[in-house]
Structure 1
Amino acid sequence: MLDDFLIRAALAGLGVALAAAPLGCFVVWRRMAYFGDATAHASILGVALALGFSMSIFAGALTVALIMATTVSTLTGRGYAMDTLLGVMAHSALAFGLVAVSLLTNVRIDLMAYLFGDILAVAKIDLLIIWGGAALVLTLLVWRWQALLTTTISTDLAYASGIDPKREQLVLTLALALVVAVAIKVVGVLLIAAMLIIPAAAARPLSATPERMAAIASLIAAAAALGGLQISFTLDTPTGPTIVCVAATLFALSSLISAVVRPAQRS
C-alpha cells in the first residue's frame, strides 16, 4: 500500500495536520504567530548545514529550529520588543540559510521543495519521521495540557498553582521545533506557520472549550491536507500552497458560519 506515492502523501499530510493543529491553538491563544514563523524560517539554515555536513535533514532542521526558538524565548523580556526581535531573527535566519544553500556547490538541492514543500516525494522513512514527531508532539501536549492552559490564561495563576511558566514555555518551544522539522518536507519553510495558525483560527469560532477547539482544528487541518492533495493532483497545482489555500477557504467558511449563527442565537 505504501508503494503508492499518493497514499504516502496523504499519510504525511495527516501526520503534519495532527501535530500542527493542537499546537497551533496555543500559538493563537498566546499570539505567537510570528514566533512560529521565525522558527520555521530558521529551519532552512538547518537544511543547509545538514547537507553541508552530510547529516540528516530532519536532525539539522530540528537542531536549528530548537536553537532559534530557545534564543527568542530567552531574549524576550530582556529589553527587546517581541515583534522587533522576531522580525530581525526570522528574516536574518532565512537570509543566512539561503546564502548557505547557495554555497553548497557540490550538493544538488531543489530549494523550492524546501521553501514550499514536496509532499509527493515523501518516502517511507519520511513517514516514519513525520509520524514519530507527531506522536511525540501530541504526547507532550497531552501530558502538559492543563499546565499549558493555566500558564496561557495567566502566569500569576500558574505560579499560584505551583506551575513554572518558563518550563511550560520550554515545552511549547520543543513542540514547535519538532513540528517545524517534520513539516518542512510537506508544506515547506514558508508555509509551516500557515498550517499552525489557520486551522486553529478556523476552529476558534466553532468551539466552546479549549479541548473542542484543538479537536476541530485537527479535523480542519486534516481536511485541508487531504483536500489540498486531491485538488493539487486534479489541477496540477503546487501541493503545499494548495493545502494552505484549502485551509484558508475553510477559515473563511468558519468565519461566515460564525457571523451568521451568532446574531441568530442572540435574537
Structure 2
Amino acid sequence: MLDDFLTRAALAGIGTGLAAAPLGCFVVWRRMAYFGDATAHAAILGVALSLAASLPVFVGTLFIALFMAMVVSVISGRGYAMDTLLGVMAHSALAFGLVGVTFIQGVRIDLMAYLFGDILAVSRSDLAVIWGGAALVLALIGWRWNALLTATLDDGLALAAGIDPKREQLVLTLALAVVVAVAIKVVGVLLITALLIIPAATVRPFAVTPERMGIMAALVGMTSAWIGLRASYEFDTPTGPTIVCVTALLFILSNIASRIRQPG
C-alpha cells in the first residue's frame, strides 16, 4: 500500500496536520505567530547546512530552529523589540540559506520543493520522520498540557503553582522546531505557519474548552490535508499551497457560521 505515492502523500499530510494544529492552539493563545513564521523562514538555512554536510534535512532544520530560539531568548530585551529581532534573524537566515545552497556542488536542488513543499515525492523514510516527529510533538504537548496552559494564562500564576514559565516556553520551542522540520516536505518553509495558525483560528469560535479546541484543530488540519491533496490531484495544482487554500476556506466558512450563530 505504501508503494502508492498518493497513499504516502495522504499519510504525510495527515501526520503533519495532526502535529501542527494542536501546537498551533498555543501559538494562537500566546500570540507567537511571528515566532513560528520566523522559525519556518530560518529553516531554509538548515536545509543548506544539511545538504552541505550530507545530513538528513530534518537534522539541519531542527538544529537551526532550536539555535534561533536560543539566540532570540538570549538577546531579547536588550534594546530591540521582539518582532524586530525575529524579523532580522528570520529573513537573514532565509537569505543566507538561499545563497548558501548555490555553493553546494554535486547536489541537484529544487528550491521550490523546499519553499512550497513537495508532498507527492514523500518517501517511506520521509513518512517515518513525519510520523515520528508528530508522535514526539503530541507526546510533549500531552505530557505538559496543564503546565503549558497555566504558563499561557499568566507567568505569575504559573510560578505560584510551582511551574517554570521559561521551561514551558522551551517545550513549546522544541515542539515548534520539530513541526517545522517535518512540515517542510509537505507545505514548504513559506507555508508552515499557515498550517499552524489557521486550523486553530478556524475552530476557536466553537471551542468551549482548550482541550476541545486542540482536538478540533487537529481534525481541521488533517481534513484540510486530505481535501487539499485530492483537490490538487483533480485540478493539477501545487499540493502544499492547495492544502493551505483549503484551510483558509474552512476558516472563512467558520467565521461566517459563527456570525450566523450570534444572536441579533
**Smaller-chain TM-score range?**
over 0.9
- What CA distance in whole angstroms lies between the structure 2 residues aligned with 1:21 and 1:228? 15
Residue 55 of structure 2 aligns with an amino acid whose one-letter code is M
- What CA distance in whole angstroms lies between the structure 1 residues aligned with 2:39 and 2:166? 18
Determine whether 1:141 maps to 2:121: no
Counterpart in 2 of 1:182? 182
- What CA distance in whole angstroms lies between the structure 1 residues aligned with 2:161 and 2:254? 35
- What CA distance in whole angstroms lies between the structure 1 residues aligned with 2:58 and 2:181? 6
1:17 Cα offset (Å): 0.5
Counterpart in 2 of 1:155? 155
- What CA distance in whole angstroms lies between the structure 1 residues aligned with 2:60 and 2:149? 30
Tell me if structure 2 keeps the 8 A contact 1:232–1:239: yes
| Secondary structure in structure 1 of the residue aligned to 2:190 | helix
Residue 150 of structure 2 aligns with an amino acid whose one-letter code is T
1:106 Cα offset (Å): 2.3
Determine whether 1:39 maps to 2:39: yes
Deviations 1:89-138 (A, max 9, x none): 11111111101011113211000000000000000011100000000000
68-77 vs 12-21, which moves further: 68-77
Determine whether 1:123 maps to 2:123: yes
Alignment: residue pair count? 264
| Secondary structure in structure 2 of the residue aligned to 1:112 | helix
Counterpart in 2 of 1:5? 5
Counterpart in 2 of 1:234? 234
Deviations 1:166-217 (A, max 9, x none): 0000000100000000100110000001100000110111111111111110
Question: What CA RMSD, in Å, does the superposition of the two structures yield over aligned residues?
Answer: 0.9
Residue 237 of structure 1 aligns with an amino acid whose one-letter code is T
Determine whether 1:92 maps to 2:109: no
Residue 185 of structure 1 aligns with an amino acid whose one-letter code is K
1:57 Cα offset (Å): 1.0
Counterpart in 1 of 2:107? 107
Deviations 1:44-76 (A, max 9, x none): 101111111111111111111111122223333
Counterpart in 2 of 1:200? 200
| Secondary structure in structure 2 of the residue aligned to 1:189 | coil
Query: Sequence identity, in percent?
Result: 70
| Secondary structure in structure 2 of the residue aligned to 1:54 | coil
Q: TM-score, normalised by structure 1?
A: 0.97
Q: Which runs of 4+ in 1 moved over 6 A?
A: none
215-224 vs 103-112, which moves further: 103-112
Tell me if structure 2 keeps the 8 A contact 1:70–1:173: no
- What CA distance in whole angstroms lies between the structure 1 residues aligned with 2:194 and 2:94? 17
1:84 Cα offset (Å): 0.8
User: Please, which runs of 5 or more residues in structure 1 have no aligned partner?
Assistant: none
- What CA distance in whole angstroms lies between the structure 2 residues aligned with 1:137 and 1:5? 25
| Secondary structure in structure 2 of the residue aligned to 1:190 | coil
1:223 Cα offset (Å): 0.9
Tell me if structure 2 keeps the 8 A contact 1:21–1:221: yes
Counterpart in 1 of 2:64? 64
- What CA distance in whole angstroms lies between the structure 2 residues aligned with 1:126 and 1:87? 30
| Secondary structure in structure 2 of the residue aligned to 1:185 | helix
Residue 69 of structure 1 aligns with an amino acid whose one-letter code is A
68-77 vs 217-226, which moves further: 68-77
